[in-house]
Structure 1
Amino acid sequence: MELLECRLAIDDLDSFVADLGEIGDRHGVTIQAFDSRYVADRRHLERAVELADRAIERDENVARDRAVEILLYAAGRRQIDRALEMGVSEGGDRAVVLVDGGSDEDETTALEAVEKLDAFVERESTLETQDPETLCEFFDITDAERTATDTSLSALVRERVALLEVEK
């Protein structure tokens, strides 16, 4: 799995998503773009990929498309409409683009193609800082839950991702 932390300026979301799909198909990889405000850290996305792949292997997936299944797990939700809130939108976004599958070379080549899209503005570190309020609100993590444990916010988000598997 490779991640591209960046800034995007998307004029037409449908066209951008189609471009990602074409790049993925051409390089034999899965590509999903996330609004970085909703990504706790790299391990959050690694866990989402792992659980999505397990659901697909067991024929328990909700989405037909692997990228959408990864999005569902990353968002900790079974409803696609609610999970889409975690995706990028039109306008300017700090983003994380996930590329997974094929070989390391396929992933790298696909990332390079993403950087050539009109919507790509620049590489920018987007996972170094978290907005705890946004993450807690999106993943329904309460103040009481945070004070009851000394675990990190990232670990609590990964717990929500894992709970999706249990709640099926």
Structure 2
Amino acid sequence: MDLLECRLAIDDLDSFVADLGEIGDRHGTTIQAFDARYVADRRHLERAIAFADRAIERGENVARDRAVEILLYAAGRRQIDRALEMGVSEGENRAIVLVDGDSDEDETAAIEAIEALDAFVEHESTLETRDPETLCEFFDITDAERAATDASLSALVRERVALLEVEK
């Protein structure tokens, strides 16, 4: 898995998603773009991939597309419409684009193709800055829950990813 932390300016979301799909197909990779505000850390996305792949292997996946299944787990939701809130939208986005393939070469080639898209503005560190309030609101993490544990916010978000597997 490789992550492209960046800023995107998306004019047409459907066209952008189609471009990502085409790049993924061409390079044998799965590509999913996330609004960076809703990604706790790299491990959050690694867990989402692991759970999505396990669901697909077991035939328990909700989505037909691996990228969408990863989005469902990353969002901690089984409803695709609700999970899409975690994706990028039209306009300016601080984004994290996940690229997962069988080889580093495939991932690198896919990232280079994404960087060549008109929507790509520039590299921007997005995992370094998190808004705890946004993460807590999106993942339904209460103040009481945070006060009851010494676990980090990132760990609590990853717990939501794991709970999705249990709640099926």
Normalised to the residue count of structure 1, the TM-score between the two structures is 1.00
- Give the alignment's Cα RMSD to 1 decimal: 0.3
Q: SS of the residue aligned with 2:94?
A: strand
Task: Provide the aligned length of Structure 1 versus Structure 2.
Answer: 168
Runs of at least 4 residues off by over 6 Å: none
Q: Which position in structure 2 is the counterpart of 1:42?
A: 42
Name the aligned partner's letter for residue 128 of structure 1: E
Measured in 2, the distance between the counterparts of 1:41 and 1:102 equals 22
Q: Which position in structure 1 is the counterpart of 2:9?
A: 9
1:72-121 superposed Cα distances (whole Å, 9 cap, x missing partner): 00000000000000000000000000000221100011001000000000
Measured in 1, the distance between the counterparts of 2:122 and 2:152 equals 30
Structure 1 unmatched ranges of 5 or more: none
Q: Which position in structure 2 is the counterpart of 1:150?
A: 150
Name the aligned partner's letter for residue 29 of structure 1: T
Measured in 2, the distance between the counterparts of 1:102 and 1:21 equals 16
Normalised to the residue count of structure 2, the TM-score between the two structures is 1.00
Q: SS of the residue aligned with 1:60?
A: coil
Measured in 2, the distance between the counterparts of 1:4 and 1:101 equals 14
Structure 2 unmatched ranges of 5 or more: none
Q: Give the superposition deviation at 1:70.
A: 0.1
Q: Give the superposition deviation at 1:129.
A: 1.1
Measured in 1, the distance between the counterparts of 2:130 and 2:155 equals 13
